[in-house]
């Protein structure tokens, strides 16, 4: 599978309404993969929110029974409750059958940048624990190289912020503490930590190595590089005839920006 020819390249912005249509189409396709009795990881962000909405509709129509969600954030938990999906905490489940999550960037190896919603720490826990992680994106997220556009989000223990910033600079990054729109000062994550967005102006050459290097810095909780474990990506694409198409990539080297 390749992303349909005629699709704008990933760096090209889409009309927000078209992008929303692509996300919705992906969410609708994704819920078809859920089976009754499953425990489902629920990601964070606007695409995951549409998935939660669609899943809630299937449950309320009785088309899916005994489905439980494991939320990756406060947002996912509240949206699940509103959609009528029962949630359990990680400590109450003995498995996660499948997790559905969004991403900020996806490369041809199905490595990801996540963390635009500052929820990547619990997303990584849930997505990696799941028997299968399915990533839901529109075509704007598919890139030839990670990091050229989107920074890597790093969750950092508050008391360690200064030495962590120094270490991130030493790795060649350009770190910036994420601030809130409607609050003076840094945002604080669901887990009580700061977020540092690290730009790598020349892109990321070895995402797996960088993921490990950043996580080795004392004071770092988790970073938003997800490498080496995702095997399914659903991509919403607008084809040359302006039709919305959802493509499933299930092996590495299959997504082309």
Ligand X SMILES: O=C(CO)[C@H](O)[C@H](O)COP(=O)(O)O
Can you give the binding site for ligand X, defined by CB under 6 A?
A: 43-48, 101-104, 114-120, 123
Active site residue 123: yes
Measured from the CB atom, is 104 or 211 closer to ligand X? 104
Measured from the CB atom, is 123 or 197 closer to ligand X? 123
> Are 106 and 136 within 8 A, CB to CB?
no
Measured from the CB atom, is 46 or 179 closer to ligand X? 46
Active-site residue among 54, 123, 211, 222?
A: 123
How far is the C-alpha of 188 from the C-alpha of 132, rounded, in Å? 30
In angstroms, what is the minimal distance from the CB of 75 to ligand X?
9
Orientation angle between helical segments 46-60 and 74-83, nearest 10 degrees: 30
In angstroms, what is the minimal distance from the CB of 150 to ligand X?
9
> Are 178 and 186 within 8 A, CB to CB?
yes
In angstroms, what is the minimal distance from the CB of 198 to ligand X?
15
Measured from the CB atom, is 85 or 103 closer to ligand X? 103
Helix (H, G, I), strand (E, B) or coil at 164: helix
How far the first Cα of the chain sits from its last, in Å, is: 12
Extract the tokens encoding 246. Answer: 């959802």
In angstroms, what is the minimal distance from the CB of 115 to ligand X?
5
Extract the tokens encoding 202. Answer: 């020349």
Extract the tokens encoding 40. Answer: 């489902």
Backbone phi and psi for residue 55, each to the nearest 5 degrees, phi listed first: -65, -40
How far is the C-alpha of 10 from the C-alpha of 105, rounded, in Å? 9
- Residues forming a β-bridge with 112: 106, 226
Measured from the CB atom, is 47 or 227 closer to ligand X? 47
Of 66, 22, 70, 64, nearest in space to 47 by CA? 22
Task: Give catalytic residues, as residue numbers.
Answer: 123
């Amino acid at each position: 599978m390749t992303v349909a020819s005629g699709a704008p390249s990933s760096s090209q912005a889409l009309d927000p309404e078209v992008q929303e249509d692509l996300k919705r189409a992906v969410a609708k396709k994704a819920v078809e993969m859920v089976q009754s009795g499953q425990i489902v990881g629920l990601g964070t962000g606007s695409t995951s929110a549409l998935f939660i909405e669609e899943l809630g509709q299937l449950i309320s129509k009785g088309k899916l029974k005994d489905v439980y969600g494991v939320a990756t954030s406060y947002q996912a938990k509240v949206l699940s409750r509103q959609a009528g999906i029962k949630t359990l905490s990680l400590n109450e489940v003995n498995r996660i059958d499948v997790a559905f999550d969004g991403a900020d960037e996806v490369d041809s190896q199905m490595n990801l940048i996540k963390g635009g919603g500052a929820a990547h720490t619990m997303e990584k826990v849930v997505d990696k624990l799941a028997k299968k992680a399915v990533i839901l994106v529109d075509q704007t997220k598919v890139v030839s190289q990670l990091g050229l556009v989107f920074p890597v989000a790093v969750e950092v223990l508050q008391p360690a912020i200064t030495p962590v910033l120094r270490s991130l600079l030493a790795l060649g990054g350009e770190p910036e503490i994420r601030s809130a729109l409607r609050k003076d000062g840094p945002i604080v994550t669901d887990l009580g930590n700061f977020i540092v967005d690290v730009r790598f102006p020349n892109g990321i050459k070895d995402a797996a190595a960088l993921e490990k290097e950043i996580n080795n810095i004392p004071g770092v909780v988790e970073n938003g590089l997800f490498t080496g474990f995702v095997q399914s990506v659903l991509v919403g694409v607008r084809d040359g005839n302006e039709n919305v198409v959802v493509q499933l990539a299930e092996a590495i080297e299959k997504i082309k920006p």
